[in-house]
Amino acid sequence: MIYDHYASVDDSRRHSIIRAQGQLYAKMLRNIPFRCAFEGGPGYGGFAHYCRNAGAAYQAVEENSELATYLNAQGFSVKTGNLRDYTAADQSYDLIVYSHVIEHIGTGKEVLEFLSKSLQWLKPAGHLLLLVPDVQMSPRQYFADYTHVFPTTRFGVRNLCMDLGTTLVRDGYYVGRWLHGWRMLGLFYRAVPWLALPTRWRQQLDCRLAISAYCLVRKA
């Protein structure tokens, strides 16, 4: 894919991201046991490694064939394809994770239909975890990605999950791997004299310090 730049990241940076993502998932999924998980759009594989460390089975779908090949070579089960075309047997998973995915799906109605189909793959009382960019908190991060088509916010995603008939477990904001302290990081992010920084630095800060949202719900 032209847009994805995963292959341009060196191994040390990739491993750093995986470690940070593992810490983030440990906080978001605290006290949530699971044995079999599905992920749409695994990225660098942070959640895949988290599942491996937790002793849980893991499956994923990734549109970027190069990235899917990379993850399969590490022993993860990752299919190449369009996530919207993927179908699993009902009640296949204890946990489904979509990290920075639903903002790419389509209209609000299309996202609702997509998530409704995904819930069918969850076992009774299974969990769905959504991570999204928050367009209100960090608009630069959201609008910098030309593939974003569905504006996401913490409260918008919470309402979306409510309409799906799920039960809210927890939700909130995060920056990087931090659920706590995001306010101070967000304040720093806003206080940076952007015009005085090189373009590359501005892009890196946009990515690393932008405020995102998450929502963990339980299937009814």
* Tens of pLDDT, residues 122-148: 999 999 999 999 999 988 888 888 999
Q: What is the pLDDT of residues 31-73, one digit of tens each?
A: 999 999 999 999 889 999 999 999 999 999 999 988 899 999 9
Write the secondary structure of the chain as one string of H (helix), E (strand) and C (coil): CCCCCHHHCCHHHHHHHHHHHHHHHHHHCCCCCCCEEEEECCCCCHHHHHHHHHCCEEEEEECCHHHHHHHHHCCCEEEECCHHHCCCCCCCEEEEEEECCHHHCCCHHHHHHHHHHHHHCEEEEEEEEEEEECCCCCHHHHHCCCCCCCCCCHHHHHHHHHHCCCEEEEEEEEECCECCCHHHHHHHHHHCCHHHCCHHHHHHHHHHHCCEEEEEEECC
pLDDT of 3 reads: 54
Give the Cα-Cα-Cα angle 132, 197, 8 (nearest 5 degrees).
Answer: 55
How confident is the prediction for the chain on average, in pLDDT?
A: 89
Q: Kindly list the domain boundaries of the chain, sorted by start residue.
A: 6-218
Going by their DSSP bridges, the two strands 57-62 and 77-80 should be labelled as: parallel
**DSSP β-ladder status, 122-133 and 212-218:** antiparallel
pLDDT bucket at 13, cuts 50 / 70 / 90:
confident
Does position 79 have pLDDT exceeding 50, yes or no?
A: yes
What is the C-alpha separation between 40 and 138, in angstroms, rounded?
Answer: 23
Q: Sheet containing 36-40: give its strands across.
A: 77-80, 57-62, 36-40, 93-99, 122-133, 212-218, 167-174
- Backbone angle region of 41, left / alpha / beta, with phi > 0 → left and psi within -120 to 50 → alpha: left
pLDDT digits (tens, 9 = 90+) for 105-122: 999 999 999 999 999 999
Domain 6-218 in this protein, CATH class: alpha beta
Query: Average pLDDT in the 180-209 region?
Result: 70
pLDDT exceeds cutoff 80 at 181? no
In whole angstroms, give the CA distance from residue 43 to residue 195.
30
Q: State percent of the chain over pLDDT 90.
A: 67
pLDDT computed for residue 78 by the predictor: 97
